[in-house]
Amino acid sequence: MFQGLKFEPLTLPASAEALRLEVRAFVESELDIDYLRNSDFNAGDSAEFSKKLGSKGWIGMTWPKQYGGAERSFLERYVVTEELLAAGAPVGAHWIADRQSGPLLLKFGTEAQRATYLPNVAKGESYFSIGMSEPDSGSDLASIRTSAVKVDGGWLLNGSKIWSSGAHMNHFMVALVRTEPVTDNRHAGLSQFIVNLSDRNVTITGIENLAGDRDFNQVFFDDVFIPDDAVVGEPGNGWEQVISELGYERSGPERFLSAYRVLVEFVREVGSTPNEAQLTLIGRLASNLITLRRMSISVAGMLEQGKSPIVEAALIKDLGNDFERQVPELLRLLAPTPHSKRFAETLNQCILHAPSFTLRGGTREILRGVIARGLGLR
């Protein structure tokens, strides 16, 4: 019988807190004082910065050393992730490869795939995109139409993916595709492929967001040949694999820290003399942030124990969505006037990026379906 969700309180070990100070000092030494920091990991990328993180052993931290990893704990990785996001560091280049593509290959990939792809990811030199959503299939991944047919030595891939962050600069994509006809079990017959984004039959078109950035893309596949050794896991097992992959995407601190820099700048703006409404708002947002952080650290502890906290991760993302959506709107209403250019720029950037916060990793409807099933309500 289901006993409910439980987030065990967890104290980060001394080694993790020592690592925090090291990461903080590194970031401060690397980022220019005039750099406009934004804790949305999609808002900035730097191949040079990613390579420096790789040289420090801070990408693929939990992976085996034979694949370029450092064999450190999930809790130590959590601290590095948290500090990079809180500082607004330009981590977008390697982020997805480190967070979910690499762990996916460790769990379901072949030995050859791990040896081929993971060391370069850990060096900060190889980047991956997510290939899940399609123009007519957002969070309902079972309805995807991109398909592949078996040919001699591999598969021919046709269709398109959308909202693929960084595909214009990344090297590979892990794409979820249909490899068998649809049956009553819509989740059957799906597979995951590693797609080389430099293939001449792959076309990448940028999508401009509200902020004027073009980090989103639509990716088209026109008879792209996928060799058999680029199939992740077993053909037809894609649904189980993608659900596991989404667990990595949903539980980390990026699920509630995307608007963190705006809160930091707001506190700096009001200084030591906030009015009663500003003080109340700071306390409210800080208490929400602390609660979400404790839940997220608890999930990191579950991962450390080899568990698969899919429902817990979905709950964190759902609650984090609420928090991230509220932060810029509430701070905007109580911002002191006049206020600094830095606060205005940080707030404006967050407001323009905020609509995407609730979509990535699954919409609220999808997340609440996962939670309901986990609670035995469906």
What is the mean predicted confidence (pLDDT) over 24-38? Answer: 81
pTM reported for the whole predicted model = 0.89
What pLDDT is recorded for position 221? Answer: 98
Q: Does residue 190 register a pLDDT over 70?
A: yes
Confidence of residue 44 (pLDDT cuts 50, 70, 90): confident
Specify the 3-state DSSP secondary structure of 200: coil
| Average pLDDT, rounded, for the chain | 90
What pLDDT is recorded for position 282? Answer: 97
What are residue 147's phi and psi, to 5 degrees?
Answer: -140, 165
What is the mean predicted confidence (pLDDT) over 225-230? Answer: 98
Topology of domain 14-126, CATH: Butyryl-Coa Dehydrogenase, subunit A; domain 1 (1.10.540)
The first and second tokens of residue 329, run together, are: 């709107």
Please list the residue range(s) of the chain that carry CATH number 1.20.140.10: 252-374
Q: Which residue has the higher pLDDT, 71 or 6?
A: 71
Q: 307-330, pLDDT tens digit by residue?
A: 888 888 889 888 988 898 899 999
CA angle 92, 96, 101 (to 5 degrees): 160
Q: 143-173, pLDDT tens digit by residue?
A: 899 999 999 999 999 999 998 989 999 999 9
CATH number of this structure's domain 130-237: 2.40.110.10
Please list the residue range(s) of the chain that carry CATH number 2.40.110.10: 130-237
Query: 3-state SS of 341-373?
Result: HHHHHHHHHHHHHHHHHCCCCCCHHHHHHHHHH
Please list the residue range(s) of the chain that carry CATH number 1.10.540.10: 14-126
- Burial (CB < 10 A; 0-12, 13-18, 19+), residue 326, is middle
Q: Does residue 3 register a pLDDT over 70?
A: no
**How far apart (Å, rounded) are the C-alpha atoms in residues 160 and 171?**
17
Residue 153: left (phi > 0), alpha (psi -120 to 50), or beta? left
What pLDDT is recorded for position 26? Answer: 96
**How far apart (Å, rounded) are the C-alpha atoms in residues 58 and 24?**
13
Architecture of the domain spanning 252-374:
Up-down Bundle (1.20)
What is the mean predicted confidence (pLDDT) over 264-279? Answer: 95
What pLDDT is recorded for position 36? Answer: 64
The first and second tokens of residue 267, run together, are: 């506190």
Q: 348-359, pLDDT tens digit by residue?
A: 888 888 877 776
